[in-house]
Amino acid sequence: MSENTPSQQEVIEALQANFTREMQAAQTYYELAGKESDEKRKAILVRLAKTEEDHASKWRERLEALGITDFSFKKKSLWQSMQLKSSSLATNLERMEQEEHRNIAAYESQKRFGDEDLTQLLDEIENDEKNHARSVRALVSTDPQKSLQLMWSRERWHKHAGTGWIGDAIYGVNDGLGAVFGIISGVAGFSSSSRVVLVSGLAGMIASALSMGAGAYLATKSNREMVEAEVHHERQEIASDPAHEREELELLYQLKGFTESESAMLAERITSDPDLYLKTMVQEELGMSEEQFPNPWRSALSGSASTAVGAIVPVIPFFFLQGIPAIITAAIVSIVAHFAVGAAKSLVTVRSWWQSGLEMTVVGVIEGAITYSLGILGNTLLH
């Protein structure tokens, strides 16, 4: 026996683990079916459970051929049982989808044994497990709780998309104004030099604008890349296994209340158009689209420019005034600007303009008082 050839005991242990894995999955699917009130969804869960039992029977036959007669299997742990009972159906389905993928990985690793018959069986069961993962994903995507969460997230996105650059600009101005007003107040409390305050404010403005622009660029780019990766993955699934993807699409529509014939008709129409097919699968399975996020460069420019606009407001008086008059003027201008920005936030929120403006004003006053006091304290301690 070569160094890489598995021993019979190693093969037996792997097959026993497979048997246990399938029996536990069947047990879980039966329990989930018992918690499901919708008859169509319940029937799907029962079907999955029976398929897992069939897989277990096949592993049992392989073990019997190797002389194994003990087919007791390890039950779920107390912690797993508590999770199953205390978690929502949607959460349990998500766990089962993850479990199906772990099973696929385990079966893929066992192909190293080099047994042709075993590899054929592994391929067959692995393909079933992939179908199970798709079915469970479809169940999750049509779960009422998940659907409601998706609707809420879409509504929030639509609101954001409707305001577009206006919302980004308001939040950028808000951040720039708050950050630089704090810097101006602190430095003014520490130093009586208007030039020092001016330079500090300008430095803070530039740093805030660059930081906001970089953050907006990276965040938007990361989100776009995530969507693009998911779309690419779905495109590969459609290309490699179109029959199963179509079956999944039909299942999605059946779970939405369409009859089998209606679902087949809809799937036929959608799959006939490759672009529509991909967009539909991405939307139905993932709740996202390729157009979901704005251009990263536009986000960076909007973030930087709006932050700079907000940040320059507390600095302006120091271009024309010096000493206490400059500080007082900067404080008044900044407080008024805080109220204006807060009121403008009502364009992208559901709060009244005066409530939002007053809240922003209070925050600005507190921020300025604290940083100015810290500046005075620092001056006292260092001098």
User: Are 24 and 108 found together in one domain?
Assistant: yes
Task: Give the C-alpha distances (Å, rounded to integers) separating 322 from 180, 194, 198.
Answer: 18, 5, 10
User: Are 284 and 137 found together in one domain?
Assistant: no
Model pLDDT, residue 141: 64
CA distance 306 to 311: 9
User: Are 71 and 180 found together in one domain?
Assistant: no
CA distance 256 to 267: 13
- Establish if 152 belongs to a structural domain: no
Query: 112, 141, 170: which is the final residue of a domain?
Result: 141
Task: Give the C-alpha distances (Å, rounded to integers) separating 215 from 139, 167, 208.
Answer: 36, 16, 10
- Establish if 33 belongs to a structural domain: yes
Query: 141, 170, 204: which is the final residue of a domain?
Result: 141
User: Are 118 and 197 found together in one domain?
Assistant: no
Torsion sign, CA atoms 154, 238, 273, 268? negative
User: Are 198 and 270 found together in one domain?
Assistant: yes
User: Are 360 and 258 found together in one domain?
Assistant: yes
- Establish if 149 belongs to a structural domain: no
Query: 141, 174, 208: which is the final residue of a domain?
Result: 141
The one-character DSSP state at 290 is T
CA distance 78 to 332: 63
- Angle among Cα 181, 184, 188 to the nearest 5 degrees reads 140
Question: Residue 235 is encoded by which pair of tokens?
Answer: 């495109």
Where are the extended beta strands (E) located within the chain? Answer: none
Range of the domain at 90: 8-141
Say if residues 129 and 22 touch (Cβ distance below 8 Å).
no
Q: Which amino acid is at 73?
A: F
pLDDT tens, N- to C-terminus, the chain (383 residues): 445 567 888 888 889 888 988 998 898 899 888 888 888 788 888 888 999 999 999 999 989 988 888 877 667 666 667 767 777 777 788 888 888 888 888 888 888 888 888 888 888 888 888 888 877 877 776 655 554 444 444 444 344 444 455 666 777 888 889 899 899 999 988 888 888 999 999 999 999 999 988 988 888 888 778 777 777 777 787 788 777 777 777 777 776 777 878 888 888 888 888 888 777 777 766 565 555 556 788 888 888 999 999 999 999 999 988 888 888 898 899 899 889 888 887 665 656 778 888 988 898 889 889 998 998 998 888 86
Q: Which long-range contacts (CB under 8 A, 24 or more apart) does 76-80 make?
A: 76/24, 76/27, 76/28
- Establish if 235 belongs to a structural domain: yes
Domain count along the chain: 2
- Establish if 147 belongs to a structural domain: no
Say if residues 335 and 150 touch (Cβ distance below 8 Å).
no
User: Are 81 and 40 found together in one domain?
Assistant: yes
User: Are 25 and 53 found together in one domain?
Assistant: yes
CA distance 20 to 79: 17
Q: Which residues contact 250 (CB under 8 A, 6 or more apart)?
A: 260, 263, 264, 266, 267
User: Are 40 and 188 found together in one domain?
Assistant: no
Enter the pTM of the model: 0.49
User: Are 274 and 218 found together in one domain?
Assistant: yes
- Establish if 3 belongs to a structural domain: no
Q: What is the CATH number of the domain that holds 96?
A: 1.20.1260.10
Say if residues 327 and 372 touch (Cβ distance below 8 Å).
no
User: Are 42 and 187 found together in one domain?
Assistant: no
User: Are 177 and 110 found together in one domain?
Assistant: no
- Establish if 151 belongs to a structural domain: no
Model pLDDT, residue 370: 93
- Establish if 2 belongs to a structural domain: no
Model pLDDT, residue 142: 60
